[in-house]
Amino acid sequence: MLAIGLTLGRGAARADGPPEVPIDQQVLIVLRILAYDANLAARSGTAIEIAIIHRADDAASEQASARAYRAFARAAGKLKVAGLPVRVMAIPYSATIADDLQRLHVDQLYVCAGLDDKVAAIAGAASSASALSFTDQPAYLEAGVAVALARGDRKVSINVNLVAAKAAGARLSANFLRLARVVKR
């Protein structure tokens, strides 16, 4: 399990357990992980397009999306990844998610909480769009999201579903994978 040297600040309390990884830390970690993808430029083209996926009829999911959007937008205004600018958008889940990702040229996506029953469909859409998927919901890893960030013992752990990452066209560096908890499902 990757325990990177970022100690957790006081995250928001979750109804089901300990504080989550603060969204600003998640964003920096996600952007750093993208730098370990040897296929990033081929998958992204001239810009990295990140979609925040949420459930429109769930207030908590919408709030998580708004927080993630603000954090990614702040980072996008300051940082480039592998020389590429970062653009961010929020997309509510719908039955047309696969078409939406293709139409908007999304190559990375962040899956918010509240989509438990839609994760498999989102993962399939991500794979079809060659979009690497991220979340802070560890259970979503089993359903096909490529990377899940979780609170470890005072550090952030990174869990990688290698099958999902490869299906998205990502080629994550061996050095990075040695540090992560890799699940081959």
For 62, the token pair is 């919408």
Go through the domains of the chain in sequence order and give each one's CATH number.
Answer: 18-183 (3.40.50.2300)
The chain-wide mean pLDDT, for the chain, equals: 89
Query: Which H or E run contains 150?
Result: strand 147-151
Long-range contacts of residues 11-16, Cβ cutoff 8 Å, at least 24 apart: 11/151
Residue 4 pLDDT class (50, 70, 90 cuts): very low
| Res 1 pLDDT > 80 | no
Alpha-carbon 54 to chain mean position: 12
pTM: 0.88
**Number of Cβ within a 10 Å radius of residue 63:** 15
pLDDT at 31: 96
> How many degrees, rounded to 5, is the angle at CA 184 between CA 182 and CA 185?
130
For 11, the token pair is 């995250």
Coil, strand, or helix at residue 182? strand
106 close to 51: Cβ distance less than 8 angstroms? yes
Measured CA to CA in angstroms, residue 58 lies from 3, 53, 117 at distances of: 32, 12, 13
Helices then strands, counting H and E runs in the chain, come out as 8, 9
pLDDT digits (tens, 9 = 90+) for 24-61: 999 999 999 999 999 999 999 999 999 999 999 999 99
pLDDT at 92: 97
Strand partners, 53: 91, 111
129 close to 101: Cβ distance less than 8 angstroms? yes
Q: Which of 181, 61, 54, 174 is nearest to 122 (CA)?
A: 54
